[in-house]
Structure 1
């Protein structure tokens, strides 16, 4: 901190002449006692751990960088074609970066728990302690455009460093990284945590013929199970079961419940 001009710290709202350094300043410092990021790479099952790191007691900026290094180690590689090297992404780096930054700046720092990053062969799950900020419901969170920052000062610092874009655009930016991909990210909100599931990229259609029939109808805009059934060669029970499978695997999204349940990409 001593290397940074006090006036700069005041401008960033990290220091006040009467109160000294605040919590945001401590989180950005190179030595703090806050919980950090618990990140693990699993093999074919959760009982097989290839690598695990608990990143803490250092600046959240350094924690972010360390997590990105581990991400690149497992989800990026170079492919040589003729005389050229081509960078290949198994999972969109921009989507992971956005989800991780959001977990850091929106988490509840008074909760004694780490951000959990679980890396699997087919997905990454990022769980952030603390639910949605007061005044923001799940539908507004998913739709985007409304931003209620739990940690406003941290958000401002990350914005100045170009690590995030416009506030309230995180979910949309993540979804945009999966345009044209069969599987889509999933978002789960509870009172105590927010979980984001990022699937690996699947350009090929791995669905069964029946699953593909239902998926195609959802893609065309048929939103209810009743409308989908009317355009399928099989009954409603099978349609509902297939819809559940597509939702679980991240191919489609489900909103509402009961007769108001709707499906979309």
Structure 2
């Protein structure tokens, strides 16, 4: 999950930043658990999680048992068919990785539908894969009563990491300096300066200082007044 993009939502109570992965963690976890439960152990190959530019794929060795198919489970099948790896399934059930035998695919669909993520199954000659389409990087700032009214989602559909950190610092500390941003974000001085100026030009931050050479200059969030 560390290799996929995240959506950062600001405006929650207390102005805390909330990270939302582009693909629901629960869906990926369920897909991996499902692959482990139903993999064909005679092939000598492992379960794979492949991350591509436009999709993430969980690949399991082996095909669905004869007479079974993903569509059956999406249609509400009770999972009464014979389990391929009952020992693995029981271990995952006891560990809390799975909740009930045969219900993994409907849960994956429910998680994905809730986040608007498309997923699909495909089968090759000897593997079964579930694919999650990646919606793309999007960072939104949602407005609510606790957010400064100058910061609106319409202006900030996309923020880079340095800009997100700058706003977070200004929110938590009441102000942010180019040195603080440089040290916290791990970026150079010029990048920090440009980031703060860009946010100020958008109205997300306000510059305060006597001159551009003022050692005490800083940036803060606009007032709600």
Q: Give TM-score scaled by structure 1 length.
A: 0.44
Higher Cα radius of gyration? 2
Written as runs of structure 1 = structure 2, the 5 A alignment for 1:213-252 is none
Match of 1:166 among 93, 100, 115: 100
Aligned equivalent of 1:189: 123
Q: Deviations over 1:12-33 (max 9, x none)?
A: xxxxxxxxxxxxxxxxxxxxxx
Aligned equivalent of 1:157: 91
Question: Are the counterparts in 2 of residues 78 and 85 from structure 1 also a CA contact under 8 Å?
Answer: yes
2:79 is aligned with 1:146: yes
Match of 1:117 among 24, 49, 52: 49
Following TM superposition, by how much is the alpha carbon of 1:172 offset from its aligned partner in structure 2, in angstroms?
0.7
Following TM superposition, by how much is the alpha carbon of 1:146 offset from its aligned partner in structure 2, in angstroms?
2.0
Tell me: CA distance 1:165–1:180, structure 2 relative to 1, closer, same or farther (3 Å).
closer
Aligned equivalent of 1:72: 2
Q: Tell me, which stretches of 5 or more residues in structure 1 are unaligned? A: 1-70, 205-265
Tell me: CA distance 1:80–1:102, structure 2 relative to 1, closer, same or farther (3 Å).
same
Following TM superposition, by how much is the alpha carbon of 1:161 offset from its aligned partner in structure 2, in angstroms?
0.8
Q: Which protein is richer in strand relative to its size?
A: 1
Tell me: CA distance 1:76–1:183, structure 2 relative to 1, closer, same or farther (3 Å).
closer
Question: Are the counterparts in 2 of residues 138 and 189 from structure 1 also a CA contact under 8 Å?
Answer: no
Q: Secondary structure at the match of 2:31?
A: helix
Q: Deviations over 1:140-174 (max 9, x none)?
A: 24434224310001101101111011111111111
Q: Secondary structure at the match of 1:179?
A: helix
Following TM superposition, by how much is the alpha carbon of 1:176 offset from its aligned partner in structure 2, in angstroms?
0.5
2:95 is aligned with 1:95: no
Q: Secondary structure at the match of 1:177?
A: helix
Tell me: CA distance 1:180–1:201, structure 2 relative to 1, closer, same or farther (3 Å).
farther
| Aligned residue pair count | 134
Aligned equivalent of 2:196: none
Aligned equivalent of 1:132: 64
**Structure 1 vs Structure 2 CA RMSD:** 2.8
Following TM superposition, by how much is the alpha carbon of 1:125 offset from its aligned partner in structure 2, in angstroms?
0.9
Tell me: CA distance 1:137–1:77, structure 2 relative to 1, closer, same or farther (3 Å).
closer
Question: Are the counterparts in 2 of residues 94 and 174 from structure 1 also a CA contact under 8 Å?
Answer: yes
Match of 2:36 among 95, 99, 104: 104
Tell me: CA distance 1:176–1:138, structure 2 relative to 1, closer, same or farther (3 Å).
closer
Q: Give TM-score scaled by structure 2 length.
A: 0.51
